[in-house]
């Protein structure tokens, strides 16, 4: 039984475009000898559609596209994910569904049984779960069809979220093969975690598992692919590449030589960089942008953002501005120009000294007798934001913000200043990870100037300013933030780990106070286990201290 795996990049709500993608991948698999083709969860729809499903024409158009797609499937069956109605009285209005298309018709329909409502997921808001898990018989085999969460076991969810186990239900009915249509978002370490989970499922059910995962970026979520076939012994029999669209045909019942799984454990900087390049490319192109602009400060954050942009969209489609203030060092401008030459991107220098002095003169009657403070620092950042937004408007660029997760966490960024933009590319990348990725990027040749990597980080908004004048050392800051934000430990628990009490409480207070700022920030690309944005819902007005 040759099964084609079509790891495609769907666009949310683009039913005609997704039909074309599905048919192209289907035909690739046919040419390679497939007898059955499997696609990702909601491959006809794009995942997640969120509240689009409530629009009156959304599901009807989805079903119309499904009928059209079914009419094109004549040679071998195609298994495709879509959204269906829940026809029964009561319950949620829709189903997360999969359709078995064969000989021009919809032959079987399957409903997702386990609907996640944790982390970035909110499926019980929309969908009614499937009531029964029944294998189908095809080509002499009893085949179980599951959708994403249906195969995630309690061991990996850390606690039992469900009172049903679809894989066990299918195994009890003498299943021979398990298929899974998935839209499993990426975060660092997730590909290897999935491999371990799938291996356990295959061993426990004693059948091969064919797993097809989505690829591409949709809003803040990134899907990395890494589809695979696991044999009944729990070994990888075949795997597709990560972060690219791909098709492959595999017979899961042959005694295939196990494949190397090193790609799933690729070093962290490589995974992060490839993820961010794909995330930026898809966010820009799916939103209709062909080019981007950003501020180049001579610092490591803007340098990494520019490198990602050049790889994602081509250097000719990246426009940088370096905007020196009275406190900018000559080295920062030089580093920005050096970076631009290294990447092949455009860089223009637009000094802000005159604009800054004009603003100060305009405000002088209001500020009589008051010394300069953070107000004047923020003025510089906001002048730069105005210039970048003007460039974005005039040349139809997507403006990228360049702040990292460490800064965003504690509010070390200027609202309506350096936070201006349409996408916060590295906003889920802690500062220590920024350094790791930049050093990895320079592993063969200098792409980001080494001076940018090695000099002390500074916002350069006042004389001789350094980040560490305000913030703890980044190694300490990031370790505390990981415990407080991602692991959600209390201050007391973090202090018990050996961190300085005053430092922990300062960071905790800054994180909590700056929720209002983060809720106005540009969306970012999720690459850690818990990002600011989807998956983290904190109130702005609250007095809990913990």
What are the binding residues for deamido-NAD(+)?
Answer: 378, 407, 517
What are the binding residues for ATP?
Answer: 295-302, 402
- State the catalytic residue, choosing from 62, 102, 112, 128: 112
Q: Smallest Cα–Cα separation from 49: which of 131, 148, 127?
A: 127
Q: 308 CB contacts (<8 Å, ≥6 apart)?
A: 273, 276, 277, 280, 425, 426
In angstroms, how far is the first alpha carbon of the chain from the final one? 56
192, 248, 404 from 447: Cα distances, Å: 29, 34, 20
Residue 18 has which token pair? Answer: 């997704």
- Residue 381: which H helix or E strand, with range? helix 374-395
Query: For this structure, is 112 an active site residue?
Result: yes
Query: For this structure, is 41 an active site residue?
Result: yes
What are the binding residues?
Answer: 118, 184, 190, 295-302, 378, 402, 407, 517
CB 428 within 8 A of CB 528: yes
62, 283, 444 from 18: Cα distances, Å: 10, 17, 38
Residues in the chain: 546
Q: 215 CB contacts (<8 Å, ≥6 apart)?
A: 7, 8, 9, 40, 223, 224, 225, 243, 244, 245, 246, 278
Q: Report which DSSP code applies to 15.
A: H
Residue that the structure tokens 């966490």 belong to: 409
Residue 424 has which token pair? Answer: 């916060």
Query: What gap in Å lies between CA 205 and CA 64, rounded to an integer?
Result: 36
- Residue 441: which H helix or E strand, with range? helix 431-441
Q: Phi/psi of residue 15, each to 5°?
A: -65, -45
Q: Smallest Cα–Cα separation from 284: which of 175, 421, 186, 454?
A: 421
> 3-state class of 240 per DSSP?
coil
- State the catalytic residue, choosing from 29, 62, 133, 148: 148
Query: What DSSP assignment string belongs to 495-525?
Result: HHTT--HHHHHHHHHHHHHTHHHHTTSPPB-
CB 1 within 8 A of CB 141: yes
- Residue 305: which H helix or E strand, with range? helix 300-313
CA dihedral 267, 11, 391, 386 (to 10 degrees): -80
Query: For this structure, is 148 an active site residue?
Result: yes
Going by DSSP bridges, is the β-strand pair 78-85/36-38 parallel, antiparallel, or unpaired?
parallel
Q: Phi/psi of residue 210, each to 5°?
A: -110, 120
What are the binding residues for L-glutamine?
Answer: 118, 184, 190
CB 179 within 8 A of CB 145: yes
Catalytic residues: 41, 112, 148
């Amino acid at each position: 039984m040759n099964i084609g795996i079509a790891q495609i990049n769907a666009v949310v709500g683009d039913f005609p475009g997704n039909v074309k993608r599905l048919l192209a991948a289907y035909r690739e698999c046919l040419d390679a000898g497939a007898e059955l083709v499997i696609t990702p969860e909601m491959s006809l729809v794009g995942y997640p559609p969120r509240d689009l499903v409530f629009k009156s024409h959304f599901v009807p158009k989805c079903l119309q596209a499904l009928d059209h797609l079914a009419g094109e499937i004549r040679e071998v069956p195609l298994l495709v994910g879509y959204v269906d109605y829940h026809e029964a009285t009561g319950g949620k209005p829709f189903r997360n569904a999969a359709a078995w298309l064969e000989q021009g018709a919809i032959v079987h329909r399957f409903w997702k049984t386990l609907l996640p409502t944790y982390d970035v997921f909110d499926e019980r808001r929309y969908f009614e779960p499937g009531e029964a898990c029944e294998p189908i018989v095809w080509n002499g085999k009893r085949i179980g069809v599951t959708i994403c969460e249906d195969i995630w076991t309690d061991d990996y969810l850390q606690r039992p979220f469900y009172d049903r186990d679809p894989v066990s239900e299918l195994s009890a009915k003498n299943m021979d093969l398990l298929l899974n249509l998935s839209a499993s978002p990426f975060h660092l370490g997730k590909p290897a975690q999935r491999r371990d989970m799938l291996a356990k499922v295959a061993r426990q059910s004693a059948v091969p598992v064919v797993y097809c995962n989505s690829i591409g970026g949709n809003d803040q979520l990134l899907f990395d692919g890494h589809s695979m076939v696991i044999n009944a012994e729990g070994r990888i029999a075949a795997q597709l590449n990560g972060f690219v669209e791909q098709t492959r045909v595999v017979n899961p019942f042959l005694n295939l030589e196990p494949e190397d799984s090193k790609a799933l454990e690729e070093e962290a900087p490589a995974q992060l960089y490839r993820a961010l390049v794909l995330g930026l490319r898809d966010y820009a192109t799916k939103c209709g942008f062909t080019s981007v602009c950003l501020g180049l400060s001579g610092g490591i954050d803007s340098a990494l953002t520019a490198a990602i942009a050049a790889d994602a969209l081509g250097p000719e489609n990246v426009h940088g501005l370096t905007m020196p203030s009275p406190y900018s060092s000559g080295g920062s401008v030089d580093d920005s120009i050096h970076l631009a030459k290294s990447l092949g991107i455009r860089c223009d220098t637009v000094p802000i000294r005159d604009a800054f002095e004009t603003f100060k003169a305009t405000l002088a009657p209001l500020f009589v007798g008051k010394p300069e403070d953070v107000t004047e620092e923020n003025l510089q950042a906001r002048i730069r934001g105005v210039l970048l937004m003007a460039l974005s408007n005039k040349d139809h660029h997507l403006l990228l913000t360049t702040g990292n997760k460490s800064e965003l966490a504690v509010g070390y960024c200027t609202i309506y200043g350096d936070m201006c933009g349409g996408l916060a590319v590295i906003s889920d990348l802690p500062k220590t990870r920024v350094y790791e990725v930049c050093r990895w990027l320079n592993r063969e040749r200098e792409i980001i100037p080494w001076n940018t990597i090695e000099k002390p980080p500074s916002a350069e908004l006042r004389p001789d300013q350094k980040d560490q004048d305000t913030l703890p050392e980044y190694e300490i800051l990031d370790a505390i933030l990981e415990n407080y934000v991602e692991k959600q430990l209390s201050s007391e628990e973090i202090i018990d780990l050996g961190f300085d009490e005053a430092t922990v409480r300062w960071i905790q207070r800054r994180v909590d106070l700056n929720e209002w700022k983060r809720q106005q920030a540009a969306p970012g690309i999720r690459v850690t286990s818990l990002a600011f944005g989807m998956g983290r819902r904190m109130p702005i007005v609250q007095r809990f201290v913990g």
